[in-house]
Amino acid sequence: MNREDILAEALNCVEDRGENYGTPSQNFKRIASLWSVVLAKEVSVAEVGAMMVCLKLARLAETPDHRDSWVDIAGYAAVTAEAIACTAGTQLPLSDQQSTEPTKQVSHYEDL
């Protein structure tokens, strides 16, 4: 298990799921809406991503060498960042660029 293989596998998974579930922002907004009803509290796109990572961390507590969970965490990190940027109306820099402009900071964790 190495980082290049994990990230490449995560990219393939993310692309496959995007074809089935829509964009990350669409899917995470849909999940947030459903969880908001179930929990009787507003759930944000960022919280959906964080909770999906937590799910995978809970599974890794039982089997820390389970490759699929590590791949999924990498994928959730990427799609969550994309969904947050899309929802907040910000654009993340391309992978080969570094932005020197300040980004809009949005905190969704005040109640945690």
Q: What is the pLDDT of residues 62-90, one digit of tens each?
A: 999 999 999 999 999 999 999 999 987 75
CA-atom Rg of the chain in angstroms: 15
Q: Which residues of 64-87 are buried (b: 16+ CB within 10 A; e: fewer)?
A: eeeeebbbbbbbbebbbebbbbbb
- pLDDT < 50: residue spans in the chain: 93-94, 96-100, 102-103, 105-106, 109-112
pLDDT at res. 99: 46
**Token pair of 23, please?**
């964009």
pLDDT at res. 101: 53
**Token pair of 20, please?**
């089935």
pLDDT at res. 88: 79
* Residue given tokens 């570094």 in the structure block: 98
Burial class (CB in 10 A: 0-12, 13-18, 19+), 111: exposed
pLDDT at res. 94: 45
